[in-house]
Structure 1
Amino acid sequence: MNRQYKARIYVTLRPSVLDPAGVAVESGIGQLGIANVKQVRIGKYIELMLTAADENQASEQLDRICDQLLANPVIENYQFDLDEVQVQLGVST
């Protein structure tokens, strides 16, 4: 029986990669008069639902999706959280 999972995926630039968007945001924060914020990094956050036989299969599918589509493994790292979702069947009256 297949189960449904909710994935939360975080994609960030590798620490060695320059982050121009992060630099721009850090500068903007400084222009707001806030001087205690440093090393701003900008990334991507993705949520998706998937159906799989078990958590291991879901994790393997997510790893493939991230590695081949959502992240550029040359310059980006990714990690994800995976939670099983209880499907509630509707009751009709």
Structure 2
Amino acid sequence: MGRIIVEVMPKPEILDPQGKAVGSALPRLGIEGFTDVRQGKCFHLAVDGPVTDALLADARRAAEEVLSNPIIEDVVRVEEIVEAGGAQ
């Protein structure tokens, strides 16, 4: 069984209050060194059999038409998930 990952992020000009909250909490927890945090969405799509170019194209279409709001979000990644060791 193959898997595809889709990542969606708010456009840079869109305010991200959840990312801001996480970003301000990190130093209070002693976690330093991060200059910005943005909160996005991640989808894992499972398919029967191997991931093909056609399935990746369908996942890209789903990402652009269903999984994201193109007014305020960008689709930043659509690709096959390859498990460690090369197994799928």
Scaled to the shorter chain, the TM-score interval is 0.7 to 0.9
Larger radius of gyration: 1
Whether 1:64 aligns to 2:61 is yes
Q: Please, what TM-score do these two structures have when normalized by structure 2?
A: 0.75
Structure 2: how far apart are the matches of 1:23 and 1:54? 36
RMSD: 2.6
Moved over 4 A (4+): 51-54
Unaligned 5+ segments in structure 2 are none
Unaligned 5+ segments in structure 1 are 88-93
Q: Please, what TM-score do these two structures have when normalized by structure 1?
A: 0.71
- 1:47-84 superposed Cα distances (whole Å, 9 cap, x missing partner): 11124897221022101211111111111111111258
Counterpart code for 1:81: E
Are the counterparts in 2 of residues 9 and 47 from structure 1 also a CA contact under 8 Å?
A: yes
Question: Which of 24, 39, 44 pairs up with 1:42?
Answer: 39
